[in-house]
Amino acid sequence: MTDGTPMADEPAALHRVAQGIIAARDARISALEVEVTRLSDIIARAKAAAISDGATVEGFVAALAAVQATLRGVR
């Protein structure tokens, strides 16, 4: 190869690179799954609060704003 890597080492090196890419992808997928779960919980809490306020659009918006304010305080 042009970089001086012996031909016999290329498959192993490529395999290691591929494993790293796959591991990074899997980690990102896991992080996204956690985020989806968190956002689903936020939406569920906002819906529950809106229903308890009479299921109005205004109640839902107010509940969502309260959840957002809580999240801002956590971050």
For the stretch 44-65, pLDDT in tens is: 887 777 666 666 777 777 777 8
| Rounded distance between C-alpha atoms, residue 35 and residue 62, angstroms | 22
Structural domain count of the chain = 1
How many other C-beta atoms can be found within 10 angstroms of the C-beta atom of residue 25?
Answer: 10
Is residue 30 in some structural domain?
A: no
C-alpha distances out from residue 23 to 10, 16, 28, Å: 20, 10, 9
**12 vs 60, more confident:** 12
Cβ–Cβ under 8 Å, residues 1 and 7: yes
Per-residue pLDDT band for 24 (boundaries 50, 70, 90) equals: very high
Domain assignment present for residue 28? The answer is: no
Whole-model pTM: value is 0.53
Domain that holds residue 49: 37-75
Over residues 8-32, mean pLDDT: 89
